[in-house]
């Protein structure tokens, strides 16, 4: 008799970060934000990534930036476009925010090519 072992489903990033500490926030993140909002057809995933990265840079939210930079690359945004987005925002969102964001981008994207 062969034993079948099934691995539990992979945890989402929200589950990994928050877990049981705030399950409702995990549910809203997974089901509403990424399950509904990101799936809406009115904007392409690429456009949503550009908007999201811009909002994170403008808000100075660098903690969330690595995951969204990687998602942007997966959604077809080039490294060059992401750098240009940050450079552009230096003049609209502020130099310190852009410098913080470009530092994160360098760490995350440094070895990737367009």
Any idea where the domains of the chain sit in the sequence?
A: 13-42, 44-114
pLDDT greater than 80 at residue 112: no
Query: Could you tell me the CA-to-CA distances from 95 to 61, 100, 102 in Å, in that order?
Result: 14, 9, 10
State the chain's mean pLDDT as an integer. 92
In this predicted model, what pLDDT tens digit does every residue of 94-103 receive, in sequence order? 999 999 999 9
Query: What's the pLDDT at 111?
Result: 67
Tokens of 58: 């403008």
Residues 6+ apart with CB under 8 A from 101: 56, 57, 62, 65, 86, 89
Residue reference for tokens 């690359």: 73
Question: pLDDT tier at 64 (50, 70, 90 boundaries)?
Answer: very high
Question: pLDDT tier at 80 (50, 70, 90 boundaries)?
Answer: very high
Nearest alpha-carbon partner for 85 in 68, 67, 98 = 98
Please say whether the beta carbons of 105 and 66 come within 8 A: no
Query: Could you tell me the CA-to-CA distances from 108 to 4, 23, 68, 70, 103 in Å, in that order?
Result: 38, 28, 10, 8, 9
CATH code: domain 44-114 is: 1.20.1290.10
pLDDT greater than 60 at residue 31: yes
Please say whether the beta carbons of 58 and 93 come within 8 A: yes
């Amino acid at each position: 008799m062969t034993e079948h072992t099934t691995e539990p489903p992979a945890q989402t990033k929200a589950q990994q970060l928050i877990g049981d500490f705030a399950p409702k926030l995990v549910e809203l993140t997974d089901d509403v934000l990424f399950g509904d909002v990101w799936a809406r057809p009115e904007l392409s995933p690429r456009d949503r990534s550009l908007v999201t990265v811009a909002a994170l840079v403008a808000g100075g939210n660098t903690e969330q930036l690595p995951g969204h930079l990687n998602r942007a690359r997966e959604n077809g945004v080039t490294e060059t476009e992401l750098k240009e987005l940050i450079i552009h925002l230096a003049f609209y969102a502020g130099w310190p925010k852009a410098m913080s964001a470009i530092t994160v981008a360098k760490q995350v994207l440094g070895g990737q090519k367009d």
